[in-house]
């Protein structure tokens, strides 16, 4: 039989369906064969008269051989289905494992990239942090940056002018002769501030020491802003 003579519906059958059709065909063929050949048939040398009685075919279900073939075909069909299901399950499991591995790799790469970005950001932030020199110019500039962040008014010129008048730029300057010194609270540091005033106007983020240049400048500028509007308005002892 040529391929073109096979009905299109049969050509579209899948493997399991084809197996079922083959099994059914085999059962039918076996049943027909068994029904046409009697069990006690013997070879005859002479032609037999054809009976006028209608031919009755034996039922396939009633023949033991047909039942055996049918059971075998059903078993093969069931086994084929099980194999197909097992194959599909194995493929699905493999695909899930591949997907899980890909997701794990992707997460690891994302985590590594995030860590790299954090490191780079920290490096950029550190590089932008200004470095002030450890001298009068650096102390004033660092104090101005803190004052700006805290909203304390004042300029470089106003700070520098008052520092030179009060201590000549010496952060360890100590007045031990005026009325404050007599009262036990001598004026100390660049802007000659006494301890009660320093404590009251100390700026957070700076050392709590009158001898620290930046802490002394910012506390004094904070006090001057409160009393005079700005350190720029101070031109004598304050």
Distance CA 212, CA 202 (A): 11
The per-residue pLDDT for range 29-42, each reduced to its tens digit, is 554 454 444 444 44
Beta strand extents in 82-179 (DSSP E only): 174-175
Q: Which top CATH class is 136-233?
A: mainly alpha
Q: Is 7 left (phi over 0), alpha (psi -120 to 50) or beta?
A: beta
pLDDT score at 81: 83
The structure's pTM equals 0.50
The per-residue pLDDT for range 149-190, each reduced to its tens digit, is 999 999 999 999 999 999 999 999 999 999 999 999 999 999
Per 3-state DSSP, the chain is made up of helix, strand and coil in percentages (nearest 5) of 65, 0, 35
Mean per-residue pLDDT over the chain, rounded: 80
Under 8 Å between Cβ of 190 and 172: no
Give the angle subtended at the CA of 221 by the CAs of 217 and 226, to the nearest 5°: 155
The per-residue pLDDT for range 86-137, each reduced to its tens digit, is 888 888 888 999 998 899 998 898 988 888 888 887 767 665 778 999 999 9
- The 3-state secondary structure of the chain reads CCHHHCCHHHHCCCHHHHHHHHHHHHHHHHHHHHHHCCCCCCCCCCCCCCCCCCCCCCCCCCCHHHHHHHHHHHHHHHHHHHHHHHHHHHHHHHHHHHHHHHHHHHHHHHHHHHHHHHHHHHHHHHHHCCCCCCCHHHHHHHHHHHHHHHCCCCCHHHHHHHHHHHHCCCCCCEECCCHHHHCCCCEECCCCECHHHHHHHCCCCCCCCCCCHHHHHHHHHHHHHHHHCCHHHCCCCC
pLDDT score at 130: 86
Distance CA 36, CA 55 (A): 9
pLDDT above 60 for 59:
no
């Amino acid at each position: 039989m040529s391929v073109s003579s096979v009905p299109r519906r049969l050509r579209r059958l899948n493997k399991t369906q084809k197996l079922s059709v083959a099994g059914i065909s085999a059962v039918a063929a076996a049943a027909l064969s068994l029904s046409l050949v009697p069990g006690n048939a013997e070879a005859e040398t002479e032609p037999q008269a054809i009976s006028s009685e209608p031919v009755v075919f034996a039922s396939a279900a009633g023949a033991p051989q047909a039942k055996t073939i049918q059971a075998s075909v059903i078993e093969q069909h069931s086994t084929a289905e099980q194999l197909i299901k097992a194959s599909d399950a194995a493929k699905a499991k493999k695909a899930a494992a591949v997907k899980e591995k890909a997701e794990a790799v992707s997460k690891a790469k994302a985590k590594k990239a995030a860590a790299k970005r954090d490191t780079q950001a920290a490096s950029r932030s550190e590089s932008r942090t200004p470095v002030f020199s450890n001298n009068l110019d650096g102390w004033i500039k660092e104090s101005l940056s803190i004052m700006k962040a805290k909203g304390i008014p004042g300029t470089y010129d106003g700070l520098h002018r008052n520092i030179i008048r009060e201590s000549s730029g010496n952060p360890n300057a100590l007045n031990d002769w005026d009325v404050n010194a007599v009262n036990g609270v001598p004026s100390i540091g660049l802007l000659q501030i006494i301890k009660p005033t320093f404590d009251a106007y100390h700026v957070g983020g700076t050392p709590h020491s009158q001898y620290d240049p930046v802490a002394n400048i910012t506390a004094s500028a904070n006090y001057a802003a409160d009393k005079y509007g700005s350190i720029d308005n101070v031109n004598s002892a304050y």
